């Protein structure tokens, strides 16, 4: 479960990225965070990962009060999360298998657990035959599938994907979203920050829309664009 209570984020340069944001995302939901550039999507994601601190308010993620968390407890929070980035962030000198295994190694998983979990994660994303290949030998879509396998190998309660299809062609983007949907159907909560209108409109999941740091819409089975034909926010 994710809960933001009256969140304000003001950066040192005076920019207010989030303005009094309150929302709750329940276990097992699939939620899109949408909005134009500068709307606050990335800041919201960084708050969930404790990469930035709120100026005001409270952040709860998977039972952790993130705003009151001591530095030594941050690894516990991040072990309960899987994160997928637009730029993949794979380790170029490690094979596909080693990249996914690394997510378990940092949590001090035993070798037996790594040998069991990594092949399962690679099978789910359709990359079993690419286990010994290096990231530079993969297409962009394959690299993102490796990143997704790495995010889910720990069986996290929550997967956060920040523009996961931003560097992919439309067909590959759909493949990634179908995988995220499948992971969600297995019980994992999924939050996707995106500007991909077609994907959001087609999937008809919950949509939380931001504009200039303000939550302007929270809609079950929503669409990216406002139903108001005069609303040019997302043009």
Cα–Cα distance for residue pair 18/15, rounded to 1 Å: 9
* CATH code assigned to 1-80+157-225: 3.40.50.300
Report, as an integer, the average pLDDT of 156-169.
Answer: 92
pLDDT score for 232: 36
Lowest mean pLDDT among 26-30, 162-166, 187-191, 227-231: 227-231
For the cut 90, the answer to whether the pLDDT of residue 214 exceeds it is: yes
| Higher-pLDDT residue of 190, 108 | 190
Angle at 48 between CA 47 and CA 49, to 5 degrees: 90
pLDDT score for 12: 92
For 6, 107, 204, the CA distances from 78, given in Å and listed in that order, are 23, 10, 28
Per cent of the chain over pLDDT 90 is 77
Do residues 62 and 188 make contact, with C-beta atoms less than 8 angstroms apart?
A: no
| Per-residue pLDDT band at 118 (split at 50, 70, 90) | very high
pLDDT score for 100: 96
For the cut 50, the answer to whether the pLDDT of residue 181 exceeds it is: yes
pLDDT score for 136: 95
For the cut 80, the answer to whether the pLDDT of residue 235 exceeds it is: no
> What stretch(es) of the chain map to CATH 3.40.50.300?
1-80+157-225
SS3 label, residue 189: strand
pLDDT score for 167: 86
For the cut 60, the answer to whether the pLDDT of residue 227 exceeds it is: no
Cα–Cα distance for residue pair 7/23, rounded to 1 Å: 9
Note the pTM of the prediction, 2 decimals.
0.90
For the cut 80, the answer to whether the pLDDT of residue 231 exceeds it is: no
Lowest mean pLDDT among 46-55, 70-79, 129-138, 207-216: 70-79
pLDDT in tens, 130-158: 999 999 999 999 999 999 999 999 999 99
Report, as an integer, the average pLDDT of 103-128.
Answer: 92
pLDDT score for 233: 35
pLDDT score for 156: 93
Do residues 147 and 90 make contact, with C-beta atoms less than 8 angstroms apart?
A: yes
| Per-residue pLDDT band at 72 (split at 50, 70, 90) | confident
| Per-residue pLDDT band at 53 (split at 50, 70, 90) | very high
Cα–Cα distance for residue pair 58/225, rounded to 1 Å: 29
For the cut 50, the answer to whether the pLDDT of residue 234 exceeds it is: no
């Amino acid at each position: 479960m994710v809960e933001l209570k009256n969140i304000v984020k003001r950066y040192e340069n005076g920019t207010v990225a989030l303005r009094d944001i309150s929302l709750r995302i329940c276990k097992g939901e699939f939620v899109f965070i949408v909005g134009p550039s500068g709307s606050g999507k990335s800041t919201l994601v960084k708050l969930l990962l404790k990469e930035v601190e709120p100026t005001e308010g409270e952040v709860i993620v998977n039972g952790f009060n993130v705003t009151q968390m001591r530095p030594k407890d941050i690894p516990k929070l991040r072990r309960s999360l899987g994160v997928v980035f637009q730029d993949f962030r794979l380790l170029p000198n490690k094979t596909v298998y080693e990249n996914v295994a690394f997510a378990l190694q940092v949590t001090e998983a035993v070798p037996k657990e790594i040998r069991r979990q990594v092949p399962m994660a690679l099978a789910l994303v359709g990359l079993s035959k690419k286990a010994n290949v290096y990231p530079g030998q993969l297409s962009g879509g394959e690299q993102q599938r490796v990143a997704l396998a790495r995010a889910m190998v720990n069986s996290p309660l929550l997967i956060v994907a920040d523009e996961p299809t931003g560097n992919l062609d439309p067909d590959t983007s759909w493949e990634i979203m179908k995988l995220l949907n499948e992971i969600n159907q297995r019980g994992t909560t999924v939050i996707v920050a995106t500007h991909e209108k077609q994907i959001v409109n087609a999937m008809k999941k919950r949509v939380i829309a931001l504009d200039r740091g303000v939550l302007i819409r929270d809609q079950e089975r929503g669409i990216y664009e406002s139903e108001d034909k005069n609303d040019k926010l997302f043009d």
